Chains A and B, each alone.
Chain A
Amino acid sequence: MYHGYGVGNGSDVRVTHLQFADDTLIIGEKSWLNVRTMRAVLLLFEEISGLKVNFHKSMLTGVNISDSWLAVALALMNCRRGNLPFVYLGVPIGGDPRKLSFWKPVVDRIVGRLSSWNNKFLSFGGRLILLKVVLSSLPVYFLSFFKAPAGIISSIESIFKSFFFGEGGEGNGKIAWIK
Chain B
Amino acid sequence: MGILIANEVVDEARRTNKELLMFKVDFEKAYDSVDLNYLDAVMVKMNFPTLWRKWINECVGTAKASILVNGSPTEEFPIERGLRQGDPLSPFLFLLAAEGFNILMNAVVGG
Contacts and interface: CB of A to CB of B under 8 A. Distances in A.
Interface residues of A, number: 61
B77 interface: no
B108 interface: yes
A28 interface: yes
A88 interface: yes
A59 B3 CA distance: 17
B109 A1 contact: yes
Given A22-B98, A60-B23, A62-B20, A51 B30 contact: yes
B14 interface: yes
Contacts of A128: none
B2 A88 contact: yes
B52 interface: no
A107 interface: no
Interface residues of B, number: 46
B21 A34 contact: yes
Given A22-B27, A45-B101, A64-B14, A145 B4 contact: yes
B111 to A, nearest CB: 5
Contact of B102 (A19, A23, A59): A19
A22 B12 CA distance: 26
B24 A24 contact: yes
A18 B100 contact: no
Interface in A63-85: 63-65, 73, 77, 79, 82, 84
B70 to A, nearest CB: 29
A4 B6 CA distance: 13
Interface string A12-23: 001111111111
Contacts of B100: 45, 48-49
Best-buried of B5, B17, B29, B108 by chain A (most CB within 10 Å): B108
Given A7-B9, A51-B27, A63-B19, 6 more contacts: A7-B12, A22-B30, A37-B108, A49-B100, A51-B97, A93-B6
Interface of B: 2-14, 17-30, 33-35, 38, 81, 91, 94-95, 97-98, 100-102, 104-106, 108-109, 111
